[in-house]
Amino acid sequence: MKGYKVITLTTFLIESQAEFPYAKGELTRLLYHVMVAAKMVNKKVNKAGLVDIIGEAGEVNVQGEDQKKLDVFANDQFIAALRSSGECCGIASEENQEIITFDDDLSRDGNYIFCMDPLDGSSNIDVNVSIGTIFSIYRRISPRGERAVLDDFLQPGTKQVAAGYIIYGSSTMLVYTTGRGVFGFTLDPSIGEFCLSHHDIKTPEDGTIYSINEGNAHEFPEGIKKYVAYCKDIDKPTHRPYSARYIGSLVSDFHRNLLKGGIFLYPHTEKNPEGKLRLLYECNPIAFLAEQAGGKASTGSHRIMEIKPHSLHQRVSIITGSLHMVEKAEAFIKEQEPIKLN
């Protein structure tokens, strides 16, 4: 199209840096290396059916889940990219029991720590369903030049300086925020660049989609059961019943609802009384994105980003998506029993 200007992620990051008077280019360089790792993982994901990369890696991660080969590959790629950036002093990954720190002086002087789920939805790898990477970035609180410590990672989500995800699907997208709105970039394979495709994403305040694993319905808290029944109500066909859409990949479910309007619920159950999803790697970054897009994220009774983490692999309940839908779910929960603050 005549006059159409393609804006790459690299260009956008450099131009956006001017919005932060204190910025020295450190976060821009870090996000650039995230982009590089995303491209590497994308190549492997696209070849997953052609090479010996799908399937089990033969190990179990800290969550007690079988690691897939692509899980391990993605984890290694992001760790290598973040280390080479020189801006990251430490990493917390779903795949590793402890935090990862580096010995070289350059990394120790890095100002940021990085939390990630390197490959969300990995149970869907072998059946060619969309999967993704979720990440969250904080400024360190320990002195620069020293090793990162656990306290650097146990910060509430309100302290995030950036968060985002990469979704590997029919097209590959990187969606991120630095607290100035949410922006989406789609990978153009012909030039090998992420190009701006979704400017200042705003999620609808209402939607017609609800996403929850109803296979666990018998274990849901009473308030969640009543909200799901409300979603299915046929008494007011102008607005309901809502459409049930559940992929089983947080990135995929959240991404669809972010753009179309909807709600994603993963409450605590009898089997997982603290909740299932991880606060640092999944819930905090998703909550940051949801709020920046005009949506909401809570446990059902507390704002996700205000929770002070007490452990690296802490799990919580989460309800996130369109503002009015989340508020309605919270109202049902309040009438019954509050979801426990983890």
| Numbered residues of the known binding site for Mg(2+) | 94, 117, 119-120, 282
Structure tokens at 317: 């309940």
- E strands present in 169-317: 172-177, 182-188, 193-198, 209-211, 243-244, 263-266, 277-278, 296-298, 315-316
Structure tokens at 42: 């994308």
Strand duo 160-168 + 131-139: pairing: antiparallel
Between the CA of residue 91 and those of 69, 110, 142, 178, what are the distances in Å? 20, 11, 14, 19
Of the candidates 316, 256, 215, the residue with the CA atom closest to the CA atom of residue 129: 256
Phi-psi region of 275 (alpha: psi -120 to 50; beta: other; left: phi over 0): left
Between the CA of residue 134 and those of 95, 118, 252, 290, 308, what are the distances in Å? 13, 7, 11, 13, 20
Neighbours of 204 (CB within 10 A): 20
Binding-site residue ranges:
94, 117, 119-123, 213, 246, 276, 282
Of the candidates 221, 190, 210, the residue with the CA atom closest to the CA atom of residue 265: 210
Bond into 338 cis (ω within 30): no
Of the candidates 138, 98, 157, the residue with the CA atom closest to the CA atom of residue 302: 157
Binding-site residue ranges for substrate:
120-123, 213, 246, 276
